[in-house]
Amino acid sequence: MTATEPSVSLAGRAPARPARPRLAGPSRAARTRRKWYEIIGLTAPALIVFTVFVLAPMAFAVYYSLYKWSGYGWPTDFRGLDNYIGTYGAFRDKIFLDGLRNNAIILVGSLLVQGPLALGIALLLNRRFRGRSVFRLLTFVPYVIAPVTVGIMWQLILVRDGTLDTLMSRVGLGGLITGWLANTHVVIWTMLFILTWQYTGFALILFLAGLANIPHELMEAAAIDGASWWQTQRRITIPMLGSTIRIWMFLSMIGSLQVFDVIWVASTPAVRSLGASNSMATYMVDHGFTEREWGYGNAVAVILFFISFIAAVIFQRFVLSRDIEAPAKARRRVKN
């Protein structure tokens, strides 16, 4: 296979091998056995924890989702796949499908808005100027604040006749005022705005870390060759930031599919129940806990899991693959 092994493969197996003096110590079989004991011994605690706290609850969720169950006592009323595709199942529930659409809006919106925005800010903040660290700090602040606080803060700002409405009418934009948190056609965009406000800082942290890893010599070389600042960014910085951007896209995607806290706090139960702002996760809690449809809530949880899982697998297979496989290939090359 590789350059280091031909002598073995050509000469056949043990007979051709020069008789090595036996090392004092365990035999090869014993060493293999010991290696396996080590592997099992070292991974067992993690495997047990993973099984008990991740795999088993997942299996239970699938099991519960097949029942009509109010959460009191043990589930007994078996309904098969009714909670998924029955007349009143999730895939026939308009509000759940609205939640799915809202997740999609947040996912695409986050990728299209947060990414370019954070990239732009990161490139600006990567230049040397006075007070750079202060600016860096300030752009991280929204990400550091707890989501519940963010939700309450924006709720107070966006409430009718609140800070934003007052500001808008002062500058003559009073005609544009609407129920930011009450207008069922607007509220999901309000949520996207709040999420963008909060999570752009997260993308920014990643991008700045990625930028710090790009060797300065490359920029200097480009500058000597007469490349403008913009050309340097476009031809060198952004391509070299590729793996960071792809990782961020992955995290943002999963985060968007599972978004819960800001929506839970900033939009009222009524607005959520109308399908205007609910995500799959808020829908799950609203139904599973509040309506006491535990079987159904578990079905929604399973759907949410599979959508996230499939999205993650596809993304890893087609987009992240070069970042994951590239180091492995590189290692193999070094070995040769």
Q: How far is the CB of 85 from other proteins (least distance, A)?
A: 13
Cα 221 from Cα 232, distance rounded (Å): 10
Q: How far is the CB of 283 from other proteins (least distance, A)?
A: 11
DSSP 302-335: HHHHHHHHHHHHHHHHHTTHHHHHHHHHHHHHHH
Identify the burial level of 169 via C-beta atoms within 10 angstroms of its C-beta, where 0-12 means exposed, 13-18 middle and 19 or more buried: middle
- Closest to other proteins by CB, 83 vs 200, is 83
Residue 261 Cα distances to 14, 113, 146, 194, angstroms: 63, 20, 9, 11
Binding residues (CB under 8 A) for other proteins: these are: 68, 70-73, 83, 87-88, 95, 159-160, 179, 181-184, 267-271, 273-274, 289-293, 295-296
Q: What b/e readout covers 155-168, taking b as 16+ CB neighbours within 10 angstroms?
A: beebeeeeebbeee
Torsion, Cα of 304, 308, 309, 311 (10° steps): 140
- Torsion sign over Cα 127, 130, 131, 133: positive
- Closest to other proteins by CB, 118 vs 194, is 194
- Closest to other proteins by CB, 155 vs 244, is 155
- Closest to other proteins by CB, 63 vs 309, is 63
- Closest to other proteins by CB, 186 vs 319, is 186
Residue 121 Cα distances to 55, 124, 249, 302, angstroms: 40, 5, 17, 38
Q: How far is the CB of 59 from other proteins (least distance, A)?
A: 19
Q: How far is the CB of 66 from other proteins (least distance, A)?
A: 13
- Closest to other proteins by CB, 6 vs 71, is 71
* Residue in 130, 279, 144, 161 with CA at minimum distance from that of residue 199: 144
Q: How far is the CB of 40 from other proteins (least distance, A)?
A: 34
Q: How far is the CB of 82 from other proteins (least distance, A)?
A: 8
Residue 300 Cα distances to 91, 202, 307, 324, angstroms: 9, 28, 11, 31
Q: How far is the CB of 50 from other proteins (least distance, A)?
A: 23
Q: In the numeric block, which tokens belong to residue 253?
A: 């995607």
**The one-letter amino acid at 217:** E
- Closest to other proteins by CB, 7 vs 87, is 87
